[in-house]
């Protein structure tokens, strides 16, 4: 999968000196820049928060089409299949991107999970509709991140992490006021966040629920129940999405044979990998790779 730095340099095309942080990035976006997001094809290991300022944007998300309008804050979680469909010529937005690891380590995320069955890391509805004052506030928060990214600062990493935490806490506060949320226990949030932390480190070698459950000292049934309770998704869906992201990245950025990719991702053989890829992506790996050459 692309790290944030790799994505900014290899996909967006930013020079190395214009990427001051491995953990955060913030910029304004127009329709041309936004369409570049399709090039990463679900293979970016980061969360992004996009606030529409002008115009409109249409996206395909989880099998349905969503139109984003001014004041809409759209949250992208790694592993979810999202594609930019269309947008107005005057579309303008501000986007904050945060590395997956630093997001999951944030105390604000733990608080978010304890507050809602639909936490920031896995929104059932990925769009928060903001009032004009709320939109102005979140725009200011993002611009503060952009300001620090453009400055030399002895404590740059600490400043950015603090601003990110403030952003997430503000998002939690806004979600509590805008939509009905349900509380979950501290133990439930601990299990769910623990699973999210284990998954990026082990999904390549371990595709089975029992492995993650054993590391968390719970039964596979309990882990399945917790993940579904918090997000409405299954553990298998999470594992499969991570495998798909890694497969897409390997197909786009390496010349490895399909059989070698299947072996690297611990599939039994290339046929089982191809069936997996076709089921989730609608293309065979070879066909997908050839399409991306053009």
265 shares a domain with 155? no
Is the separation of the CB atoms in 82 and 46 below 8 Å? no
Q: Can you give the pLDDT at residue 90?
A: 95
The domain that holds 84 is classified in CATH as 2.60.120.280
Does residue 214 carry a pLDDT above 90? yes
* Residues 147 and 194 reside in one and the same domain: no
Cα–Cα dist 51/135, whole Å = 8
Read off the pLDDT of residues 2-16 as tens digits, 9 standing for 90 and up: 778 877 887 777 888
Please check whether residues 30 and 169 belong to one and the same domain. Answer: yes
Our count of domains for the chain comes to 2
Of 178, 200, 229, the position where a domain reaches its end is 178
At residue 117, the pLDDT reads 39
Domain containing 224 — which CATH number? 1.10.10.60
Percent of the chain scoring above 90 in pLDDT: 40
Looking at the structure, tell me whether residues 57 and 165 fall in a common domain. Answer: yes
* pLDDT score for 116: 42
Residue 153's CB is within 10 A of a number of other CB atoms, namely 12
Q: Domain end: 178, 209, 240, which one?
A: 178
Residue 232 in this model has a pLDDT that exceeds 80: no
- The pLDDT mean for the chain works out to 83
248 and 222 in contact (C-beta within 8 Å)? Answer: no
Same domain, yes or no: 120 and 193: no
Residue found by looking up tokens 């133990």 in the block? 187
Query: Cα separation of 290 and 251, whole Å?
Result: 9
What pLDDT score does 42 carry?
61
pLDDT in tens, 22-68: 899 999 999 988 887 776 656 677 888 999 999 999 988 766 788 99
Burial 212-244 (b: 16+ CB within 10 A, else e): bbeebebeeeebbebbeebbebebebbbbbbbb
**Which candidate, 120, 41, 146, places its Cα nearest to that of 83?**
41
Q: At 123, is the pLDDT very low, low, confident or very high (cuts 50, 70, 90)?
A: very low
Task: Quote the domain boundaries for residue 219.
Answer: 186-291
pTM above the 0.85 mark? no
Task: Look at residue 238 in the predicted model and tell me its pLDDT.
Answer: 87
Question: Can you tell me the distance from the alpha carbon of 200 to that of 212, in angstroms, rounded to the nearest whole number?
Answer: 11
Beta strands in the chain (DSSP E): 24-30, 46-54, 57-61, 64-68, 72-76, 82-87, 92-99, 127-129
Cα separation, 147 vs 80, whole angstroms: 29
- Chain segment 180-201, per-residue pLDDT in tens: 445 566 788 788 888 888 888 8
Start-to-end CA distance of the chain, whole Å, equals 21
């Amino acid at each position: 999968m692309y790290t944030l730095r790799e994505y900014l340099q290899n996909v967006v095309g930013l020079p190395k000196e214009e990427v001051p942080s491995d953990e955060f990035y913030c910029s304004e976006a127009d329709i041309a820049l936004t369409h570049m997001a399709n090039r990463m094809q679900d293979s970016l290991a980061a969360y992004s928060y996009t606030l529409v300022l002008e115009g409109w944007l249409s996206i395909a998300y989880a099998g349905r089409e969503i139109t984003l309008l001014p004041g809409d804050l759209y949250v992208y979680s790694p592993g979810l299949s999202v594609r930019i469909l269309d947008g107005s010529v005057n579309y303008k937005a501000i986007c904050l991107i945060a590395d997956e690891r630093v997001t999951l380590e944030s105390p604000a995320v733990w608080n978010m999970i304890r507050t809602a069955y639909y936490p920031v890391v896995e929104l059932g509805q990925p769009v928060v509709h903001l009032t004009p004052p709320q939109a102005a506030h979140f725009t200011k928060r993002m611009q503060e991140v952009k300001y620090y990214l453009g400055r030399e600062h002895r404590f740059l990493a600490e400043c950015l992490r603090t601003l990110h935490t403030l952003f997430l806490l503000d998002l939690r506060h806004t979600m509590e006021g805008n939509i009905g949320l349900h509380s979950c226990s501290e133990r439930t949030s601990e299990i769910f966040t623990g699973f999210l932390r284990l998954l990026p480190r082990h999904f390549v070698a371990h595709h089975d629920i029992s492995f993650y459950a054993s590391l968390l000292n719970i039964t596979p049934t309990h882990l399945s129940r917790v993940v579904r309770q918090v997000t409405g998704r299954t553990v298998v869906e999470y594992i499969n999405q991570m495998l798909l992201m890694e497969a897409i990245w390997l197909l786009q950025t390496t010349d490895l044979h399909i059989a070698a990719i299947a072996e690297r991702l611990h599939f039994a053989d290339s046929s089982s990998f191809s069936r997996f890829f076709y089921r989730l992506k609608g293309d065979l790996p070879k066909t997908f790779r050839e399409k991306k050459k053009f």
